Amino acid sequence: MIKAIVTDIEGTTTSISFVKDVLFPYARAHIAEFIRQNQDDSEVKALLQNVRDTVVAQLTVDQIISQLIIWIDEDKKITALKALQGLIWEEGYCLGAFTGHIYADVIDNLRAWKASGIDLYVYSSGSVQAQKLLFGHTEQGDITALFSGYFDTHIGAKQDRAAYSNIAEQIVCSASNILFLSDIKGELDAARSAGFKTLWLVREGELDADAAHRQVRDFDQIGHLVIK
């Protein structure tokens, strides 16, 4: 019996293109100016220190900016980068530079699952702030109230089993009663190894009947599997 659903964002609720072609370029274009303007803010200062701790202690602000741009280009899931991206995207959402993309099949199904008593959670490499911004500024309005909690890489890396065990512990739910939705096999493997049920979102391309995880095209194909 499914008591909780944990969903990934990019490639699952939201198009990969929105993240790679809208969000990442916006952060890349604004990160230098953002850091120069906010380097004395305590939150930003701590994140810059975090980058120095990860790379080398003597990095100048300009060198940190260059390193962060390399990480953006390489799509690195580094917690300090993700936190900085969230801070930069806040400005973009507030200025109306973009709205959060959600596939058309997602919201009604989330509502139906919640109405049937299933608790909904988000787990993304994007920071919790970035997750709340995206779901708070969708074309269909603010849907953050649908979710009972949000997890980012502070709970662990998405391809590490421990992250899923930590999530199960935090939401006080047996892993076998939690369904994890993702488009990435490595994440699904890690979730399954922690005892989660899994479904693989394949929104584009061929389906594989022999895939290691049951594959679905969209959230409409999940409904009958979780609501009995």
Ligand X SMILES: CSCCC(=O)C(=O)COP(=O)(O)O
Binding residues vs Mg ion (CB under 5 A): 8, 10-11, 183
Binding partner of 125, given ligand X, Mg ion, none, CB within 5-8 angstroms per partner class: ligand X
Contacts (Cβ under 8 Å, ≥6 apart) of 42: none
Q: CB of residue 126 vs Mg ion: minimum separation in angstroms?
A: 10
How is residue 69 written in tokens?
């741009």
Contact of residue 124 among Mg ion, ligand X, none (CB under 5-8 Å per partner type): ligand X
* H/E stretch holding 47: helix 42-54
Comparing C-alpha atoms, which of 179, 89, 75 is closest to residue 132?
89
Closest CB to Mg ion among 34 and 196? Answer: 196
Query: CB of 105 within 8 A of CB of 218?
Result: yes
Applying CB under 6 A, which of residues 7, 8, 163, 213 lies at the interface with ligand X?
Answer: 8
Q: Which of residues 141-200 bind ligand X (CB under 6 A)?
A: 158
Contact 54, 77 (CB under 8 A): no
Query: Contacting ligand X (CB under 6 A), which of 4, 6, 48, 130?
Result: 130
| Minimum CB–partner distance for residue 82 and ligand X (Å) | 6
Longest pairwise C-alpha distance within the chain: 58
Given the DSSP bridges, would you call strands 119-123 and 178-182 parallel, antiparallel or unpaired? unpaired
Residue 152 near which of Mg ion, ligand X, none (CB within 5-8 Å, type-dependent): none
Q: Which of residues 9-68 bind ligand X (CB under 6 A)?
A: 9-11, 19, 23
Nearer to ligand X, 67 or 85 (CB): 85
| DSSP letter assigned to residue 4 | E
87 is a site residue for ligand X (CB under 6 A)? no
Shortest Å, Cβ 138 to ligand X: 12
Answer yes or no whether residue 124 interacts with ligand X by CB under 6 A.
yes
Least Cα distance to 11 among 189, 200, 161 occurs for: 200
Options 50-58, 107-115, 130-138, 206-214: segment touching ligand X (CB under 6 A): 130-138
Distance CA 134, CA 1 (A): 29
| 155's tokens | 């709970």
Which residues of this protein are in contact with ligand X, per CB under 6 A?
8-11, 19, 23, 77, 82, 85, 124-126, 130-131, 134, 158
